[in-house]
Every structure is written in structure tokens, then in C-alpha cells.
Amino acid sequence: MHAKLPDVGTTIFAVMSKMAADHNAINLSQGFPDFPISAQLISLVQEGMRQGMNQYAPMPGLPMLREAIAQKLADTYGVTCDPETEITVTAGGTQALHATFTALVNPGDEVIIFDPAYDSYDPVVRINQGRPVHLQLKPPNFSINWDEVEATVTKKTKALVINTPHNPSGAVLSHDDMLRLSKIVTANNLYLISDEVYEHIIFDNLSHNSALKYPDLRARAIAIYSFGKTFHATGWKTGYMVAPPEITTELRKMHQFTVFCANTPIQYGITKYLEDGDHYSYLSGFYQAKRDEFATIMAQTRLTPVPCHGTYFQLYSYENISDMHDVEMAEWLTKEHKVATIPASVFYARGENIKYLRFCFAKATETMEKAAELLCKI
């Protein structure tokens, strides 16, 4: 058969998690918490099941959940979103991204992607016969060179993708960044795909500058969010996308023929959980404490951290330890020192070896301490 993605294998996250299990290593690679989620939230999902919420939900999502999301957006960003025409509940952030790229990208369209980038962007652009155009963020701050962006836009450019807070670097786009972005999007009649799944995990008294807060961007933006990241329930695969009505119409065409609808009892449980309170305003403080704790614990190792202002990931340089390629280094650490990480090169289209490894610190204290103890032996 003709492979649509001949150069793509199993995602590195699955590979490293399997390697961690095979070698009985501590898994700091894949981004999932190892601590319990809210017992109240679990109970509310069970309540939905007992009340018969076990069949298909409406394709765009339960109306009650879309209304709760609209209220959340109003409370968080001061924006008014129509739950009927602008909000669609998805089977996680990655499915929302897939629906978005599939709706927007036609053969020959160019999409600007900033590397290091979440690994699902590029393949879905190519699946839809578009051309990913990769620009590199410069370590250690991983900021965007907007002059370079302007110079890169062509008549074929259809959209650009931002991710703030940024996975894997933890960088955060500023208000000035968003204003410059808004000018570029507007001047060139582009779409903006704004991956905001870590919206509530932001540190150092910084604010999340959602694309929805900027009128010119909002008119051209698809903003994507994740309840899995927010409520420590990544396996529930429930998120949502927000876009103007005319764009939402096209997004839903793709959504309905991918999954049709997201999980019904989980939608019910999340609705009731949101109605009970925000349950997310504590996240920045919670994860900043995790970041700082991890930094303190890892200070005894020979690894060097880079600045992290959001997400629950931390990049560490091993440049003063080894000349190994980062994929080789990650495999060696997993097999020989029993700690699994993600090599940063997998977030680059050309596999640049910048000698960074990504660690997930959404872990219990004892998990982080045990990992650091093992890493001290390097």
C-alpha cells in the first residue's frame, strides 16, 4: 500500500513509555500525573452513568457542558462565546487539532510551525497535503523571532500554529508577542491555530494570553483546550475547541466523521464539576510548587535546567555530561539508570540534537526523589 506518512513511526511518547515499562524505569517521559484525580469528579462521572448518560452525546457536545465552558471562558478571559455556534467538545486536544488541520489545510497550503513543537502538528498538515514550514525557537528562552515570521509568510501561507504555555520548553507568549502576532495574522489574512491546553499551568505571576482575548485574532483563531491537562485526567481524552461560527461549521464537519462525539458520562461529570466551582485556579500555584520542588531535588544532579514558566515539563541540558545524541542519551538513561525522559530532538522536524531532555514533573514527591537519586549516579 502507499503510506501517507512513510517517515513516521510510533510516537516517541509511546516508545519511551514502553521502554520504561520494559526496563522497570521511572517514567518521567510521557506527560501524565501519577497522583489521584478528584474523587468528587469521579463520583460525578459515575452519577452521570447511573442517570443513564451512556449513549451518544450531541455531536458538538452536551449543551450543558458547552454552556459551562462558555461561562468558564467569560470568567477566565472576559470573553463572550456562543455555546451553540462557537464551542465544540472533542475527544481530547489532539483530536481537536486533527479536526482543525483537516478543516483548514488544502493541498499546497503552507502552515508555519515553531520548533520544538508538539509532534502531531506536522503529520496532520502533511496528511492533508499541506506543507509544514518550520521555524526554530532559540534556546534557552525559546522566544519567537517575529521579523523572521513576517519574512517567512508567502501567498501560500494558510495558517500558523502557536502553543502557549509551550510544550516542551515551558516558554510563555507575552502580551507584546500576541500584539505582533495579531498584526501578522490580520495583514496576511491567516488563520491561527492556538494550542492552549496548558492554559492554567503558568508560573511566576505571568498571565496566559489567550488568543480569544485579542479581537483581531479571535476572528481568525481556533483555540484548543484540554480538560485532561486541567483535571489531571489525561486518559479521559476530553477537550474542546473555540472558533467563530463560520469556522466552527467546518470544524464540526471533520469532528463528526472522526469520533462523532466525545464520551457522554465524562462530559456530564465535568459539567457538574465546573458548576460546583472553578477547580482550576489553584493549578498555577500547585504546579509551580512542583516545578520548584523538582528543581531543588534535581540540583544535586549534573543536569542543567532551562527556564520554565508553564506546563508541567522541564528541559534539562546534559551537554556537560555526554556527547551522545539525545535519542541515544534517553535510551541509555532508561536502560542503564532506570529513568525515562523524552529527547528534545523529536520536537524538531529535522531532528536537531540540542542535547536537551524533557522531564515531566507532574509526579508525586517520592517519584521525583527516586528519579533524582538514580540520576545522581551519572
The crossing angle, in degrees rounded to 10, of helices 63-77 and 264-276 is 40
- The set of cell numbers assigned to 366 is 517520592
With residue 229 as reference, give the H or E element that holds it.
Answer: helix 227-230
User: DSSP of 236-290, one letter per residue?
Assistant: G--EEEE--HHHHHHHHHHHHTTTSS--HHHHHHHHHHHHH--S-TTHHHHHHHH
- In this prediction, residue 235 carries a pLDDT of 94
- In this prediction, residue 171 carries a pLDDT of 98
Q: Is the peptide bond before 343 cis (omega within 30 degrees of 0)?
A: no
Whole-angstrom distance, CA of residue 199 vs CA of residue 181: 18
Exposed/middle/buried for residue 258 (C-beta within 10 Å: 0-12, 13-18, 19+): middle
Give the single-character DSSP code of 155.
T
> In whole angstroms, how far apart are CA 364 and each of 203, 221, 304, 312?
19, 36, 21, 12
What pLDDT, in 10s, does the model give residues 22-35? 999 999 998 888 88
Exposed/middle/buried for residue 29 (C-beta within 10 Å: 0-12, 13-18, 19+): buried
> CA 325, 326, 328 angle in degrees (round to 5)?
70
For the chain, the domains span 12-30+282-375, 41-276
Class of domain 41-276: alpha beta
Homologous superfamily in CATH for domain 12-30+282-375: Aspartate Aminotransferase, domain 1 (3.90.1150.10)
Residues of the chain with pLDDT under 50: none
Residues 124 and 132 sit within 8 Å (Cβ to Cβ):
no
- In this prediction, residue 7 carries a pLDDT of 76
Residues 161 and 180 sit within 8 Å (Cβ to Cβ):
no
Whole-angstrom distance, CA of residue 243 vs CA of residue 210: 13
Give the single-character DSSP code of 26.
E
- In this prediction, residue 5 carries a pLDDT of 79
- The set of cell numbers assigned to 254 is 471533520
